[in-house]
Amino acid sequence: MIKTIEDSMTTMSEKTTRAIGFWVCLAVLVIFHIVGFWGLMFSGRPMYFQELTPLNLMLTNVLLFSLHRTWNNTFLVFAAVVTIAGFMAEVLGVHTGLLFGQYTYGEALGTKLWDVPLLIGLNWLMLIYSTGTIVNKLKANLLVKTLAGAVLMVVLDFFMEPVAMQFDFWDWQGDMIPLSNYAGWFGLAFLLQLYFQATDVNKQNALAPYVYLVQLLFFIGLYSML
C-alpha cells in the first residue's frame, strides 16, 4: 500500500515536472520569436537581429528536443540521417541547381561548409520532426501522414522564401523563386517524412506543434510586412 502511494506520488511529480518544463519551453520559444520579429521590423537595427538567426535556430532545437522522451539508437540514427540528408541536398542544390533551382546562401545563417550553412541540416531535422509529430496524430495510413507532413513543410516554405531573400538568408537567381523550389522541397520532405513515419521513433512531443505554429506565424507576419 505504501509503495503504491509512493509510486503514485512519483508519477504525479514526473508529470508536474514535464508540464512545468513544457510551459517554460513554450514561453521562451514565443518570447524569443516575438523579440526577433520586433527586432527585424521595428528596432531600426535589423542587421543586428539577422546575426542572431543562428542562435534562434539553435535555441528552438534545444527547446524542442529537450522534450523528446526516448533518446535511443533509433532516434539518434534518424536525427543523423535527416540532418546529413538535408544538408547534402542543399549542397547539391547550391552547386548544381538541381532539386530546388539556382540559389546561394547569404551570411545570416552563420558558418558555412561547401557554401551551405552548417545549421541548415539541423533546420531540416527540426521541421521534419515537428511536422511529422503533428501529422502522426491523424487517424490515417502511412501515405496520408507522409503527404500531410510534406504539405505542411511546403506551406511554411511558401512564406519563408520571400523573407529569406529580404534578410540575407539566401538569394535566388534573378530574384525569382522558381516552382522547382517548391517541388524540390515537397519531394525531399516527402522522403524524409516517410522515413520518420515508418521508423520506430517516439512521435510524442507536446512542443512540436507549437514550434511549427510559431515559425509559421513568424514568417507570415514578416511576409505580410515586406
pLDDT at 114: 95
Domain count, the chain: 1
How many CB atoms neighbour CB 194 within 10 A? 18
- Going by pLDDT thresholds of 50, 70 and 90, the confidence category of residue 11 is low
Q: What is the pLDDT of residues 33-51, one digit of tens each?
A: 999 999 888 877 778 888 8
**pLDDT over 50 at 96, yes or no:** yes
Query: How much is the average pLDDT of 80-98?
Result: 95
pLDDT tens digit string along 52-75? 889 999 999 999 999 998 999 999
Share of the chain above pLDDT 90, in %: 74
Lookup result for grid cell 504539405: 151
* One-letter amino acid for residue 186 of the chain: F
Tell me: the pLDDT tens digits for 70-80?
999 999 999 99
CA 46 from chain centre, in angstroms, equals 22
Bridge partners (DSSP) listed for residue 103 = 172
Q: How high is the pLDDT of residue 12? A: 55
CB 96 within 8 A of CB 39: no
Reported as half-sphere exposure (CB side, CA atoms, 13 A), residue 4 has a value of 1
What residues contact 111, with CB distance under 8 A and at least 6 apart? Answer: 117, 118
1-27 average pLDDT score: 69
pLDDT at 9: 43
Residue written as grid cell 506551406: 155
Q: At residue 32, does pLDDT exceed 70?
A: yes
pLDDT digits (tens, 9 = 90+) for 140-189: 999 999 999 999 999 999 999 999 999 888 999 888 999 999 999 999 99
Q: Which residues form the domain of 175?
A: 2-224
pLDDT at residue 210 is higher than 80: yes
- Cell numbers representing residue 12 in the block: 504525479
What is the pLDDT, as a whole number, of residue 58? 94
Q: What is the DSSP secondary structure assignment for residue 94, as one 8-state letter?
A: H
Please work out, in degrees rounded to the nearest 5, the angle formed at the alpha carbon of residue 175 by the alpha carbons of 173 and 180.
65
Quick one: which H or E segment has residue 12?
helix 2-41
> What pLDDT shows up at residue 5?
46
Predicted confidence band of residue 1 (pLDDT cuts 50, 70, 90):
low
